[in-house]
Amino acid sequence: MSRQIMKRAELESLAAATGPDVEIIGEDPYCAMLVEQKVLLTLLRRIKDGEEYRFDLLSNLTAVEYPEYFEVVYHLYSRALRKLATVKTRSAKEKAEVVSVTGIWPGADFQEREVYDLLGISFTGHPNLRRILLPEDFNGHPLRKEFKAVSRG
């Protein structure tokens, strides 16, 4: 079974149908759609449910910390088309918050909780946003760059 990453031209076509709040970043074969949060759910529903795309599988959800912002990354797969796509959105560090995609892909539940637990990004609308790996009373988010580990020795 071969898999192909969506090419820049395909992503540009989808971005044009969504509007000016979507930008294509990177070069083939590693392009991604950078989406403003205000249209994130609209775009994700379109590429999941739309007949021409059918990205029915959220294979991975993660986040990256940059000096000024967080970037949440969605790796999607269309079983029907055997294509991969990457969608990204950004959140200011002062208010690390992104809308939950659990209403589109229920499997995002644990992945969003992991990102919340380790990086402190809140997912609005998540049905059960709480720590998943660390104890509830743990102080901080260990994958943040400013996190300082406490010595036990």
- For the purposes of burial, counting CB atoms within 10 Å of the CB of 16, is it exposed (0-12), middle (13-18) or buried (19 or more)? exposed
- Paired tokens of 60: 């991975």
Confidence of residue 152 (pLDDT cuts 50, 70, 90): low
Please enumerate in sequence order all residues whose Cβ is within 8 A of that of 128, keeping only pairs 6 or more positions apart, or say none: 109, 113
- Per the CB < 8 A criterion, the answer to whether 64 and 71 are in contact is yes
Q: Which helix (H) or strand (E) is 90 found in, with range?
A: strand 83-92
Please enumerate in sequence order all residues whose Cβ is within 8 A of that of 149, keeping only pairs 6 or more positions apart, or say none: 142
Backbone angles phi, psi at 6, to 5 degrees: -60, 135
Residue 75, classed as helix, strand or coil, is strand
Spell out the domains of the chain, with CATH numbers in brackets: 4-96 (3.30.460.80)
pLDDT at 59: 96
Using CA atoms in the order 2, 81, 4, 60, what is the torsion angle rounded to 10 degrees? -100
Distance CA 75, CA 129 (A): 21
Q: What is the pLDDT of residues 51-62, one digit of tens each?
A: 888 999 999 999
Q: What is the pLDDT of residues 106-129, one digit of tens each?
A: 999 999 999 999 999 999 999 999
Please enumerate in sequence order all residues whose Cβ is within 8 A of that of 42, keeping only pairs 6 or more positions apart, or say none: 18
Confidence of residue 149 (pLDDT cuts 50, 70, 90): confident
